[in-house]
Amino acid sequence: MIGKTRSSRYSDIYEFTDNILSNIFKELSDPELRSCTLVSKAWCNVALPLLWEDPLSWGAPIIEIYLNFLSSDQRKSISRVGVYLPNVPKNPKHIYYYPEYIKKFSYTELHEAAYSWLLESRNISRAYQDLFDKSFNQEEADHNPNLKIIIKMMTSLMHHLIKLLFLSSKGFEMIDLSTSYRSVGIPPLLAKIPEMLKMAFTDLKHLKVHTNYADSKITTERLDSANKLFTKAVEYCNNLEYLDAKDYSNEKNEMRQLFRLVAVQKNLKHFTARNFELWPNLMVTLGEATENTLVSFNLSGVPIDIHLLEHLSHCKALKSLALVRCMEYRNYHYNNYNYNNNNNNYSYNNNYNNHNNNYNYNNSDYNNIDNNSLISNNNNNKGKRKRDEMELEDNNNNNNNNNKSSTRSSRSTISLITAKELYFYKNKLESNTLKSILKLVGKNLKSLTVVNNNTEAIIQGINRFCPNLKYLALTIYSDTKFSTFTDWLTISKLETLILGTLSSNIHNFSDKPQIDLGEILKDLGNHFPISLKCVDFDFEITPQQLEVFLQRSNQVFVELGLHQASGLDDKHLRIIRSHARLTKKLKEVTFDRVYWIIGGDDDDGEEEEVNNDDDDKNKNKNKKKDSDAMDLDDINEEKPDRSYFSNKVLADAEKCIQTVTSTSIDPFIDPLKKLFRVHDIKVMDTEDMIKSEIEDW
């Protein structure tokens, strides 16, 4: 502070205070931030930019506000297509320029908000409120005079609002350009304003591009508009940290754009691919461009070719690999190419058969994989790998042949993937594919989360290839054998074990069909490794079963978790309290996925059961819930009207246990939400599926 004037010292103090306030305010909800803006001018200056970072989800009211910031020429342009705009107030309430604060832009949210505003402002009749549903067809709309006017209104409104936000923002953190046939698409004139796009994309950190180029309902004009905008994004974006791409077709032009975008990135940490095929060139480019930066690689609805995943071994910083609703490569092409109809005639059989001959494991191939090189070079050279309909065409045939031979020769030197965390969620993958993935991560794997329909193969894979596994969250499925699981568990180095069920219909292991999971716990405790310190059970356990389990396990637990399906009451807590007093090691007890209220009726009787008809109803209701995920909304709806535990028992437990708490965190679902940055994994990328298809997954 020596040498500084008094005013400069005060300036530093104010700046320091603002930084502290900003960090605090970031943890607040929108209503709380609104309250903060009313406290003082200093608080308002800090809270207001945070409040307006992501306002598009507010719906129609945000459009009403943004319209006041349009120039007179822009307002006239919108009015010319038939939109009635309210007059700009002479003495506006807002003294801040709100558009400059936006940091998160979502095309879909803006589209929904704009259309809601047109309906609420009576520019459009309520008869058209469901216009942009699954039956929307752009070509049909162009031939309907009424719909044609609506499309013009929406296109003009979207054009000027996007231009306003892109030119006004001080810098975007996230841009979501996700579009589908259920929208008016990207306004074509936007791609012709390079200075605007440069401002929006230059320092961008997070980009989402979800555009189904292959959808037959998307018109050529809209495809061309989306292509031009994405081309500009490729030109200006070179500092992305998170890239989320979805619904890319096998058309070479669209894929080349994605290749170029990945290739120019300097600091790409997270890459997510959804509902499209991973081309060899894309994986090669990703491995080279993100060698020292890529942290997570996430796949959803992607056909899995184990050989393409090998390229991730070049990514030295890779920590996590997630697969959600992925399928076998050959099944994907069978569904997408191996059919004939009146409009399309695909002949993919030759390429498919060639792919099988060169890249599909059978049991003997799998057992002979060399431990030092994951995939052996094909000495017999059964034929060049053909992907005539998938791989990009190259004008220079010599360079193309050189690239292929280089790729083949490098397979013998590929090392393990460095990922320490692996997630499987409801994939349709065969046993050998799952085992091959586990072999790719091998001894590097420390954490595995499984919500899958082939857990037996996964257990066999980790038993053989993953000796250093410390954390396992496993759903027990109908194929899971108790003997296979315990054989591995006994010799493992596991420190944390979370067991759950894929659905409420799973009650036991396949080789113990007459014994429910609660009873099986009695035997399971005998197989726990010495290293195991934390356990969490996501299924029903009676107090008697819990007591026997803790006695037989001969294990000193540091953390213990139970699920609300156990019908939790004072008996459970008393048993846990006794175990804590005996071992003197239990630090934390967590009751998962349920909010409970401390302060029920005191209970002086040690053996009196705290249960009533309401508890039984809640218990039966909870059993019907699918235990693989529960949304926060569902939890709030089922919030009990009384505590599971009396004050006295709870107080006694807290004397010998540091933490007795509840949580809404789901260890099977929440990590995936964070990786994919979505609110609900259960319906992610299922927008166009019918209900039966979603349930099948």
What is the per-residue pLDDT across 556-570, written as a single tens digit (0 to 9) for each?
899 998 876 657 888
Name the most confidently modeled range: 181-185, 305-309, 356-360. 305-309
What is 226-241 written as a DSSP string?
HHHHHHHHHHH----S
pLDDT, averaged across the chain: 76
The answer on pLDDT for 412 being more than 50 is: no
CA distance linking residue 634 with residue 637, whole number of Å: 5
**Coil, helix or strand at residue 246:** strand
361-370, 517-526, 537-546: least confident range: 361-370
1-5, 185-189, 261-265: least confident range: 1-5
H or E segment at 589?
A: strand 588-592
Per-residue confidence (pLDDT) for residue 249, from 0 to 100: 59
Per-residue confidence (pLDDT) for residue 47, from 0 to 100: 92
The answer on pLDDT for 389 being more than 60 is: no
Per-residue confidence (pLDDT) for residue 387, from 0 to 100: 37
pLDDT confidence of 309, banded at 50, 70, 90? very high
Per-residue confidence (pLDDT) for residue 142, from 0 to 100: 74
**Coil, helix or strand at residue 289:** helix
Q: Are 508 and 516 a contacting pair, CB within 8 Å?
A: yes
Per-residue confidence (pLDDT) for residue 220, from 0 to 100: 72
The answer on pLDDT for 413 being more than 80 is: no
DSSP 267: S
Residue with tokens 């290749």: 259
The answer on pLDDT for 358 being more than 50 is: no
Name the most confidently modeled range: 432-436, 539-543, 644-648. 432-436
pLDDT confidence of 22, banded at 50, 70, 90? confident
User: What token pair was written down for 674?
Assistant: 């964070």
Q: How far is CA 340 from the centre of its chain?
A: 35
3-class SS string, 85-98: CCCCCCCCCCCCCH
User: Helices (DSSP H) in 511-641: which residue ranges?
Assistant: 517-524, 543-552, 570-583, 613-623, 632-637
What is 604-620 written as a DSSP string?
--TT-----HHHHHHHH
Selection from 197, 212, 194, 211 nearest residue 162 by Cα:
197
Q: What is the pLDDT of residues 521-545, one digit of tens each?
A: 878 888 899 999 999 988 888 888 8
Over residues 186-211, mean pLDDT: 84
122-136, 412-426, 498-512: least confident range: 498-512
25-39, 377-391, 398-412: least confident range: 377-391
The answer on pLDDT for 573 being more than 60 is: yes
- For the chain, the C-alpha Rg in angstroms (whole number) is 29
CB-side exposure of 505: number of CA atoms within 13 Å? 3
The answer on pLDDT for 443 being more than 50 is: yes
Q: How far is CA 527 from the centre of its chain?
A: 34
What is 339-375 written as a DSSP string?
-B-SS-B---HHHHHHHHHHH---HHHHHT--SSSSS
Q: What is the pTM of this model?
A: 0.77
Q: Are 155 and 183 a contacting pair, CB within 8 Å?
A: no
Percent of the chain with pLDDT over 90: 33
User: What token pair was written down for 269?
Assistant: 């940490």
pLDDT confidence of 691, banded at 50, 70, 90? very low
pLDDT confidence of 21, banded at 50, 70, 90? confident
The answer on pLDDT for 373 being more than 60 is: no
Over residues 65-84, mean pLDDT: 92
CA distance linking residue 363 with residue 251, whole number of Å: 35
CA distance linking residue 167 with residue 432, whole number of Å: 52
Over residues 210-223, mean pLDDT: 64
Beta bridge partners of 107: none
pLDDT confidence of 613, banded at 50, 70, 90? very low
Per-residue confidence (pLDDT) for residue 216, from 0 to 100: 55
Q: Which carries the bigger pLDDT value, residue 417 or residue 229?
A: 417
Exposed, middle or buried: residue 62 (CB in 10 Å: 0-12, 13-18, 19+)?
buried
Per-residue confidence (pLDDT) for residue 619, from 0 to 100: 41
User: Helices (DSSP H) in 584-679: which residue ranges?
Assistant: 613-623, 632-637, 647-656, 670-676
Over residues 164-176, mean pLDDT: 91
219-223, 282-286, 337-341: least confident range: 337-341
What does the longest C-alpha to C-alpha distance in the chain come to?
Answer: 86
Per-residue confidence (pLDDT) for residue 435, from 0 to 100: 94
Question: How far separated are the first and last CA of the chain, in Å rounded?
Answer: 63
Per-residue confidence (pLDDT) for residue 268, from 0 to 100: 95
What is 145-190 written as a DSSP string?
HHHHHHHHHHHHHHHHHHHHHHHH-S--SEEE--B-SSS--S-GGG
Q: Which carries the bigger pLDDT value, residue 94 or residue 385?
A: 94
Q: Which carries the bigger pLDDT value, residue 208 or residue 507?
A: 208
Per-residue confidence (pLDDT) for residue 597, from 0 to 100: 35
Over residues 326-348, mean pLDDT: 50
The answer on pLDDT for 225 being more than 80 is: no
Per-residue confidence (pLDDT) for residue 545, from 0 to 100: 87
Identity at 187, one-letter amino acid code? P
The CA–CA distances, whole Å, from 657 to 260, 458, 554, 578 equal: 55, 35, 19, 10
pLDDT confidence of 313, banded at 50, 70, 90? very high
Percent of the chain with pLDDT over 70: 72
pLDDT confidence of 339, banded at 50, 70, 90? very low
Over residues 640-656, mean pLDDT: 74
pLDDT confidence of 638, banded at 50, 70, 90? very low
pLDDT confidence of 256, banded at 50, 70, 90? confident
Over residues 338-343, mean pLDDT: 34
Residue extents of the structural domains in the chain: 1-51
Per-residue confidence (pLDDT) for residue 355, from 0 to 100: 39
What is 445-502 written as a DSSP string?
--EEEEE-S-HHHHHHHHHHH-TT--EEEEEE-TT--HHHHHHHHHH---SEEEEEES
